Every structure is written in C-alpha cells, then in structure tokens.
Amino acid sequence: MSSIQPVRGTHDLIGEDQRRHAHVVHTARRIAGVYGFDEWATPIFEDTRVFSRSLGDTSDVVSKEMYSFSDRDGESLTLRPEGTAAICRALVTNALTQSLPQKVFYAGPMFRHERPQKGRYRQFHQIGAELLGAAEPLADAEAIAMGYEVLKALGIADYVTLELNTLGDAASRDAWRDALVAYFSAHKDKLSEDSLTRLEKNPLRILDSKDAGDKVLVADAPMMAEFLTPEARAFWDDLRNKLDVFGIAYTVNPSIVRGLDYYNHTTFEFVTNRLGSQGTVLAGGRYDGLVKQMGGPEVPAIGWAAGIERLSMLLGQVPAAPRSVVLVPVGTPDESAVVQILQGLRGQGLRTEIGYKGSLRKRMERAGKQNASHVLFLGEDELAKGLFRVKNMETGAEQEVSRDTLLSKAQDVFAA
RNA sequence: GCGGACGUAGCUCAGCUGGUAGAGCGCCGGUUUGUGGUACCGGUGGUCGCGGGUUCAAGUCCCGUCGUUCGCCCCA
C-alpha cells in the first residue's frame, strides 16, 4: 500500500460512523437548548499560553501531549487539547464577564498527542457545557443533571454510573494536599515508581493508582473529608441534597481528583465498564479560579466535557440512513419533463434522486441498493397521460398517482 | 513515553513442518431498457503493510520500521 495513510490517531467519519457522531452532537445540542445553554464556537487553535497557564505546567496534557507549533510570525500556537480554557478566554476577551451567568455549549475537535487506544484518538471530538458565573451548588447540580439527560437521551444512561467527589475550596485542598504529601513521603519506600513521580507532580493522583502496593497505602491515607473547611463542607452537603432533588443517583468516590489543576469543589465522572480502560464517558467539575487566570475577574464556574467517539461507541440504536425517492426513467422520456418532476419533489422537501444510466433492471437494482423508500417510474406513456406508477420498495406495492398530486401533495404520496 | 498481540484481495478469513496465492461476501457486466432485494452465468480484483537479512527458494524463518489493537501512564 503506497497510498498516503491518515495520520496516526486520526480517523474519517463516513456512513454509520458519521451518523452516530452527528446523532450525539444533535442530541446534546437539543438538550443543552432545553437547559438554556447557547452554543459557542471558538477557534481550534489558540495562543499556547491559554492552555499552559490554565491546565498546570506539570499536567501531562501540557508537558507532553500538546500539538504546539510556531506560526510564521514566531508566535507559539497550540491546537486546543480541551475546551474549557478556550471558553474562559472567550468569556474574557468578549467582555462577557459583564453579563453573567453565561451558559455555554460547544462541540468540536480537540487534539492530544497520546498513544491511540480504544476510544482515544489524537484528533477526537468533545461536546461540553460550561456554566460561568454561578457559585451555588444548584448550578453544579444543574450541570450534572444536564449531562445525565444527554446520556439518557442517547440511551446509555443504564450502562453508566455517576461518581462524585469534592476537592473542597482552595484552603481545604491545600491542607489536604500537604497532608497527603507528608503521608506518602513518609512511605516513599513502598510507593510504586509511577506514584513516586506523581508525588512530585500531582500527589492527588496517587489515590487513583492501580498498583496493588499503592492501594494498600491509599487505604490509610488522609481523607479529604477531614480537611474540609466549614464552608466547603456546607457546599458539599448542599450539592448532594440538590442531586437528590434532581433525582440523580451517584456514588461518592474519593479518588475522583481530575487531572487538571484548575478544579476545586465538585468533581464528577460518568463511567462505564463497556469501553475497557477508557471508561470515563462524561466528566467535569468546578473551576472557580480559571477565569481569573485568564486575566478576567473572579468568576465561579462549573462544567463538563464528554468524548463523542466514546459516546458513539456506546450508542445502542444506530441512527438509520436516510432514504430517498428514486426516479427511474423508462425508455427515453423527455428530459425537461423528468427534471420538472424531480425538482418539484425536491421543492416539497423530499429527498429525491434520479437513476442516471443502465437498463431498467439495473436502475431498479441500484435503487434497491441505495435503500430507496420508493421508486417513481417515468416513461413516455406516463408523461403523456400525466399518471405515474409509484412503487413502495418495502412492500413492493404500486399505486397510480397523477402529476398534480405529485407536484402538490408529494409528502402524502411518499409517506406510506 | 513503556509492555503484549496482530498486519494476506474493498470486507471476513484460509494458506500444513519455507517451493513465486485461494474461498465466501462485495463490486462490475449479462439473463432483449416496463420493474429491485432471490436464482443462474461471466468478469474485475493482492509486488502477501514496508525495508533489509537467512536460503537454490519466504506470505511462511530472523531483524528493523510503519500501522492496528489491548494494557500502563494520562485522559473524554
């Protein structure tokens, strides 16, 4: 094979793949609308600092996964690895911090230079929601409820469970982090190699370790709950009450710490066991400090993102391919009369195609292969009489329809 | 970035202990351009991922490389 291959970790969306993908986006967009979110589209590349500042220099995303390059002016640009930082940048640069809250929905490609795996690609696609300018747990609950609603509408809520945790406010998180570092530092000799680097870079991540030895240590590690300030505890309690009110089931999982630096208070993940080790399907949390890092004022915010590829793979019901009405000329009918009918049907909003060549038998065969819903025969006789045969390709039944009916009530004719 | 498995026609695969490739499906055409999804007939289609090596001879053994896949790290 000497033809040029697609870049590693990228893939084409064609046919059923594209239909699954589009169905996820359309469904999420619809539900976001119901919840009062507006869709934003931001550039797919940004000043590198948009991400390097916000995600944390030591996060893997920044330190080894970004697609960064300098453009012809020598400026460092980066293909966006995630959506939240860019949305916050857009909030600030469009001066929308003056009109809060902003409820934002987005969908589009993201880029991360990782080893491809099931449900993980170098160019992948996310849908996401950000609720900017609301500090109340009600906002968290609403964001989570909306995410759940999307999963439900996609028919995958049954395979998925919500895992919830709190990181507390800055004071709680710092105190806890210090306690963890102290605890794990005292047991360095028992830590796995991976966790030793985590201890330097992101100690919270040790809690998530799959190493058996680490797990033993983690069992006795200081718990976040012990370090929550009264305010943070009140927030946490309130959030769980609100989720109950929304009727959303969850399990508390203290190891949901999220990888990116900007999170505080609420963190959550909807996870499934149907995607191997890539089980996180929709995840997010609260990030009260991020907008300020982007040079804006203090704006509390909560949001989530979901991988479209992962959601697509879980879809039970594959969206059906569209079906056409196919015009089959018989003999050599007058072309302008045929086109008149073709365009007349399209004018009424019907997906209509015409068989270009081949014997009648061939054209019928093709109509069948392209999954036509109906075939409309156009022979010289029909055109002369103004009476046409319509064949339902599903049942094989035929009926006669007048030209007038075709040109004015085609929807009714081809409904059955 | 690390480890395992795999890589033969568009697709799914066969090819025994090395002797220069097969099937099914698909695709194209035909069974008189007034009728498809069935049937029958015919045809197209692979420098066996790529590059080296061993050998008289490699799809079949060895090395490398690229790609896919599963897991780790990380993450959606």
Q: Which bases of strand B sit closer than 7 A to a protein CB?
A: 1-3, 27, 29-37, 47, 49-50, 66-76
Q: Cβ atoms within 10 A of the Cβ of A347, count? A: 11
Residue nearest to nucleotide B29 (CA to C1'): A362
Taking the C1' atom of every nucleotide in all shown strands and the CA of A306, the nearest one is B76
Structure confidence at residue A205 (pLDDT): 82
The answer to whether A389 and A399 have CB atoms below 8 angstroms apart is: yes
Structure confidence at residue A203 (pLDDT): 80
A210 is near strand B: CB distance < 7 Å: yes
Say what angle helices A193-201 and A170-186 make with each other, to 10 degrees. Answer: 140
The mean pLDDT value of chain A amounts to 89
Chain A residues 289-308 with Cβ under 7 Å of strand B are 305-307
Does position A2 have pLDDT exceeding 60, yes or no?
A: no
Does position A260 have pLDDT exceeding 80, yes or no?
A: no
- pLDDT tens-digit map of A90-139: 999 999 999 989 999 999 999 998 888 888 889 999 999 999 999 999 99
Better-scored residue on pLDDT, A131 or A332: A131
Strand partners, A129: A105, A304
Name the percent of chain A lying above pLDDT 90.
54
- Band of pLDDT at residue A56, cut at 50, 70 and 90: low
A215 is near strand B: CB distance < 7 Å: no
Does position A246 have pLDDT exceeding 70, yes or no?
A: yes
Helix, strand and coil percent figures for chain A, each rounded to 5: 45, 20, 35
Residue type at A333?
P
User: What's this model's pTM, rounded to 2 decimal places?
Assistant: 0.91
Q: DSSP state, A368?
A: H
Structure confidence at residue A1 (pLDDT): 40
Q: Dihedral of the CA atoms A373, A378, A384, A388 (nearest 10)?
A: -20
